[in-house]
Amino acid sequence: MREWDAPAIGRPTIIAALKLNIQSHHIEQRRVQARLVSEDGRTVMCEMRNRLCVLGTPLENFYETAVARFDDEGLIEDFKVYSCRSPIVGVVQTVTGKGPYTAAAAKQEFEHVGRHSNRQAGSAELAQVSEPAESQCCRDDVKEEEPPRFFPTVRARLWKKVASVLRILRRSS
């Protein structure tokens, strides 16, 4: 979902990354919210609210911030796009049936967090999800050293996020 682990740095890499992204989605309308240029003119930042077409499905109000840094010849030296790609992934998953927000994946995450926290996973959304998914850390044949501990606020945010994904999945099916 995110490109932080393999950023596109350099002109050839940026071109390859953009060609790959164009296969699944493209911008139908770009609405620029803000534009900033650094004092030396080598860094440009643009905040946008776009309408995308993701595998033939329109996606309104997709927010992005693009930051480009130019070299001495005026060519792009570094280009980074900051956005939450979850809406794109959700549409791709709805169309293809594959992705990280499937009911099985959501239930697996719900059960995993519930099993390793100090309280039961007692959500109405959890009951709506089908077939349990097994994670490696929760199998009986795998020795568990120390269960992961989440801070209460992080755990609460995670549960809210999973519940909202489940509501979206229910509405789309």
Is residue 130's pLDDT more than 50? no
Domains within the chain, CATH numbers bracketed: 11-87 (3.10.450.50), 103-172 (no CATH)
What one-letter code names the amino acid at 144?
E
CA 2 to chain centre: 6
Give residue 125's pLDDT.
41
What digits encode the pLDDT tens for the residues 42-69? 999 999 999 999 888 898 999 999 999 9
What does the alpha-carbon distance between residue 123 and residue 112 come to, in Å, rounded to a whole number?
A: 14
Look at 6-10, 44-48, 118-122, 169-173 and tell me which has the smallest mean pLDDT. 118-122
Share of the chain above pLDDT 90, in %: 21
* Arithmetic mean of pLDDT over the chain: 72
pTM value is: 0.48
Look at 84-88, 89-93, 169-173 and tell me which has the smallest mean pLDDT. 169-173
Is residue 117's pLDDT more than 80? no
Q: Is 106 helix (H, G, I), strand (E, B) or coil?
A: helix
What one-letter code names the amino acid at 141?
D
Written as one string, the DSSP assignment of 36-77 is: EE-TTSSEEEEEEEEEEEETTEEEEEEEEEEEEEE-TTS-EE
